[in-house]
Amino acid sequence: MELASGQILCQRFRIDRLIGQGGMGSVYLGHDPVLDREVAIKQLRLAYLDGEQPPEQLRRQFQREAQILANLHHPNLPRVTDFFEHDGLYYLVMDYIAGTTLQDVLRQQRGGLDPNRVLAWADQLLSALEYIHAHNFIHRDIKPANIRLTAEDRVFLVDFGLVKKQDLYDSKTLTLIHAVGTLEYAPPEQYDPAGHTDQRSDLYALGATLYHLLSDQAPTTVSRRITEPEAFQPLRHYKADLSPEIEQVINRSMELSPEKRFATAADMRAALQRARQRAQSGELATHNLAEQPFPRMPGAPPSAPTRRVPRRAVLAGATALGAMLIVIASLAGRSAGIGVTNEPTSTVAAASVTQTTASVETPTTGTATVTLTSTLEITPATSTSAPRTAATSVARPPSGNPQAPTLKPTKIPPGQANQPTPRPTNDKGGNSNNSNSGGGKSK
């Protein structure tokens, strides 16, 4: 029964105009002269009331649920301030939320809404669902038309016409109204009057609502998803720039099986917050740590792509490097003199640094960069006397002759091969004398 403008209900509330109408009732803008404020008056239709219950039991149950709703206080929920029965119909009086519905926003902005804005609304709505679920209530009719947006970009979950009190100890949850809700947003368990709906049913409806807001496409109904699975298009089919992780969160909330959805509104809210933070920071989201890029130092430039070199090439390079070090050591030894002489010698310090870098690709760790560095340093020798056990000595060419030094045998007198070498003594002039078998000076 449609109410006329100016009609007075319950000897108090004046009806101004119709502001919304749905399958299970109508919503009117009214005025409360006692508190002198605008109110929203929700009228519930008889066709959706549970006719199997006696009228008196139905009245008591409606009163009990209205009282519980009146005690709900959340920044994203309108308050229920009164309830009454008039001419066999039941009414809820709620705060009037000035603004527009998200359904109207969709009509005005084609092509889907800004993801950052939608996710900010989702966070508010999930906070409201977390609150009402903690009080054992289920909304059961979440959709863009039942979400009002204020000028401050604050959203309110309205229209509690299908709200259901959940009995945690009985799978047959108490309800005043048997209705499916809106097909595009209703989960499969809500289609069956004997089905058991719980807080995961609201998460499905919210996921379907987010899908619609982002894609500008109403979600595929459950019945069609079952008979034609290919009819359900991925969200990024319509919103290619959407973060894959955000899409995964919404897809999980819309799973046909309740067991595969998020268990609570708090879980879904936390998942969306993480996905949103990663999308804003540009972080690559992946479940496999092995596929994540290694972190770079702050301010470091991006790493240049590394050329992959087979393992055999690295081993061959290491072998060649080892051989080169042996040759360098041999040449250094020749330049310093082979064997030990009995005169002080001084060698020129020299250093050689060789570095080889290669990348190795292994089946377990991926690509790794290997750097081989070798350093050879010859330091100046100090003036010391050499032991007499040397088999050879070096005869140096005259100064200015670039000819390489030649080797000549050193004769050791018989009987002195195994004698200890006497320590050098200084003469009166302070010159250092290195004793050579017969005590003569080295020439």
Q: What is the average per-residue pLDDT within 102-113?
A: 94
Beta strand segments in 57-113, E: 80-86, 89-95, 100-101
Identify the three-state secondary structure at position 263: coil
**pLDDT attached to residue 66:** 82
In percent, how much of the chain has pLDDT > 70? 55
Question: Which CATH superfamily is 100-284 part of?
Answer: Transferase(Phosphotransferase) domain 1 (1.10.510.10)
Question: Are 8-95 and 100-284 equal in CATH topology?
Answer: no
Task: With a cut of 80, say whether residue 423 has pLDDT above it.
Answer: no
Task: With a cut of 70, say whether residue 402 has pLDDT above it.
Answer: no
Task: With a cut of 60, say whether residue 177 has pLDDT above it.
Answer: no
> Band of the pLDDT at 427, cuts 50, 70, 90?
very low
> Band of the pLDDT at 347, cuts 50, 70, 90?
very low
Residues 128/157, Cβ–Cβ less than 8 Å: yes
Task: With a cut of 80, say whether residue 17 has pLDDT above it.
Answer: yes
Q: What mean pLDDT value characterizes the chain?
A: 73
| pLDDT tens-digit series, residues 355-369 | 444 444 444 444 444
> Band of the pLDDT at 94, cuts 50, 70, 90?
very high
Task: With a cut of 50, say whether residue 165 has pLDDT above it.
Answer: yes
Here the tokens at position 320 are 């060649």
| pLDDT tens-digit series, residues 262-297 | 999 999 999 999 999 998 887 654 443 333 333 333
Q: What is the average per-residue pLDDT within 114-129?
A: 97
Distances (CA, A) of 124 to 1, 47, 131, 266, 443: 34, 33, 11, 11, 99
Catalytic residue among 16, 82, 141, 202: 141
Q: What is the average per-residue pLDDT within 124-145?
A: 93
DSSP code for 350: E
| Distance separating alpha carbons of residues 329 and 415, to the nearest angstrom | 35
Least trusted range by pLDDT, from 17-21, 73-77, 96-100, 376-380: 376-380
Q: What is the average per-residue pLDDT within 152-171?
A: 67
| Distance separating alpha carbons of residues 344 and 384, to the nearest angstrom | 5
Q: Look-up: residue for tokens 């690709």?
A: 361
Question: Which CATH superfamily is 8-95 part of?
Answer: Phosphorylase Kinase; domain 1 (3.30.200.20)
Least trusted range by pLDDT, from 25-34, 172-181, 211-220, 296-305: 296-305
Task: With a cut of 80, say whether residue 387 has pLDDT above it.
Answer: no
In this structure, is the dihedral angle defined by the CA atoms of residues 179, 180, 182 and 185, taken in order, positive or negative? positive
**pLDDT attached to residue 225:** 95
Task: With a cut of 50, say whether residue 41 has pLDDT above it.
Answer: yes
| Distance separating alpha carbons of residues 191 and 204, to the nearest angstrom | 13
Beta strand segments in 241-283, E: none
> Band of the pLDDT at 316, cuts 50, 70, 90?
low
Ranges of each domain in the chain: 8-95, 100-284
Task: With a cut of 60, say whether residue 176 has pLDDT above it.
Answer: no
**pLDDT attached to residue 284:** 52
**pLDDT attached to residue 159:** 77
- Asked about 192 being catalytic, the answer comes back as no
Q: What is the average per-residue pLDDT within 13-41?
A: 90
| pLDDT tens-digit series, residues 95-106 | 999 999 999 999
Tell me which range, 55-69, 130-144, 359-373, is most confidently predicted by mean pLDDT: 130-144
